[in-house]
Structure 1
Amino acid sequence: MNDTRFIELLNEVKQEFSGWDFSFVTETGRIQNELLSWSYGSITMPVVRKATSLLDMGTGGGEFFSLLRPFPDNVFATEGFKPNIPIAKKKLEPLGVTVLPFEKDNELPFTSNQFGLIINKHESYCPAEVRRISKKNGIFLTQQVGGLDCKEINDALGMPINQEYLNWNLDRALKELEEHHFNVLVKKEEFPTQRFYDIGALVYYLKAIPWQIPNFNLEDLKEQLFSLHKKIEKDGYFDAKQHRFLIKAKAI
């Protein structure tokens, strides 16, 4: 494994990851994604404009949510990853957003029937708790990452798919929401390609999303990563299939 380029790429990804900012690898074109047939942002913006009470679940560092302003007076964001909380507060509190930490999906720090709109991009949730804090006729809008997301990475590295999320898909999410008194208005599911142009970008990605390969350790997988590096060098890229689904539902 005396490959200078391989060593350089792995050394680069020791860069600290914070918030929810992938620009280190996306803005440089090192990872590119096939487009979905929908835009979460375009769907979300008009409903945010009409909202009188709003919650963003799992805001990360607030990077995306901050772009949806102007906000109503009653606006909150939650974040469960502690290092992100000060980042989100710095970004969102000047915009009038109250940022609150939480630990359990089924114990959110809000009163019943508090929100007319709850948005959620790639964050876990408890459907019973979402219904509890939703007003009647309130909207729940979520884009989720499905359980088959980028399974080709796991296959290439000889690692099992995370069983905790394996069966997370549109059908299961719809069933759960309907059981908890939501009427589904919009539903979509797709598997767009995610392309990695170098092994450093792929490792950076894996470090940022630890649920893809739990307990991911660079040294333990160095041989497999080197094999994948050689494949990328030969083919020019490595492709994996993302798993995304979108639901817009109304509390009844």
Structure 2
Amino acid sequence: MAENRSFEDLVAEGAAVPTEGWDFSWFEGRASEARPSWGYARSAGERLAGAGAVLDVQTGGGEVLDHALSGAEPRRPVSVAATEGWPPNVAKAAALLRPRGVVVVAAPDDAPLPFADEAFDLVLSRHPVRPYWAEIARVLRPGGTYFAQHVGPASVFELVEHFLGPQPESVRGARDPERERAGAEAAGLEVAGLRAERLRMEFHDIAAVVHFLRKVIWMVPGFTAEAYEPQLRALHERIVREGPFVAHSTRHLFDVRKPGH
């Protein structure tokens, strides 16, 4: 059991787990996160079944798109492409998705999408760094849809602020869904649906915290176990003394349409 293991052993374990892709199965029994009620991968699979040409933006290791494509069988799209900016994930996504006929393209998260105007009737994304609305509007065909789950404001900030201290409101309010709605509308898109939820997370040992912060690198930029040893040790002692550390993630679901036929 984790509570019988030393701080040093747990930190070393969390620091050694590979971070590629978006497979979170290692966390089973060590950390948990409630899932949004809308079931993004299942809902995306339903959208895929009715689409012809599809783009998945910032696909990570391709796991979510792979799951969604499974849900779309046998009525899967004619063509599917995916972009990813982090080289280890590009390789992982290509290995997983190319056997399904998906074209995986290495593309920086903040660069224009490497596709022609009006190339897709469905654009998907799960947890993009930020929505590049002008590019989404450009590559969508008239009548096409952007369907995506975004990270919301101040997500897991109980953990972030344990390491970084209180954050200014400008940081806590980033990723605000209403601000993102305004960005979509400014790009000429119509927001047909926007739902938001706040979801409970629990970290049962410090290894899970270390691995999470190595994997979700924007939470505590530049995180290493060595640099944040005092905060890690304090949190370890708190978990041993009080039980799981509780935080809350925020998520919102966009259903956006490009006007036209």
Shared fold (TM-score greater than 0.5)? yes
Matches within 5 A, 1:1-252: 5-13=6-14, 14-25=16-27, 28-69=28-69, 70=73, 71-123=76-128, 124-159=130-165, 161=167, 166-252=173-259
TM-superposed CA distance for 1:217, in Å, is: 2.2
3-state SS of the aligned residue for 1:54? Answer: strand
Question: Aligned AA for 2:82?
Answer: A
Unaligned runs of 5+ in 2: none
Between 201-210 and 214-223, the greater mean CA deviation after superposition: 214-223
Unaligned runs of 5+ in 1: none
Distance (whole Å) between structure 1 residues aligned to residue 160 and residue 230 of structure 2: 14
Asked whether the 8 Å contact 1:57–1:118 carries over to 2, the reply is yes
Distance (whole Å) between structure 1 residues aligned to residue 138 and residue 30 of structure 2: 42
Distance (whole Å) between structure 1 residues aligned to residue 85 and residue 171 of structure 2: 18
TM-superposed CA distance for 1:104, in Å, is: 4.6
Distance (whole Å) between structure 2 residues aligned to residue 187 and residue 194 of structure 1: 22
Give TM-score scaled by structure 2 length.
Answer: 0.90
Give TM-score scaled by structure 1 length.
Answer: 0.93
Between 120-129 and 12-21, the greater mean CA deviation after superposition: 12-21
Distance (whole Å) between structure 1 residues aligned to residue 12 and residue 93 of structure 2: 28
Write 1 or 2 for the structure with the bigger share of helix.
2
Change (3 A) 1:74 1:165: farther
3-state SS of the aligned residue for 1:213? Answer: coil
Asked whether the 8 Å contact 2:41–2:67 carries over to 1, the reply is no
TM-superposed CA distance for 1:164, in Å, is: 6.3
3-state SS of the aligned residue for 1:32? Answer: strand
Question: Aligned AA for 1:46?
Answer: E
Distance (whole Å) between structure 1 residues aligned to residue 24 and residue 160 of structure 2: 20
3-state SS of the aligned residue for 1:110? Answer: coil
Structure 1 vs Structure 2 CA RMSD: 1.8
3-state SS of the aligned residue for 2:87? Answer: coil
Moved over 3 A (4+): 158-166
Question: Aligned AA for 1:210?
Answer: I
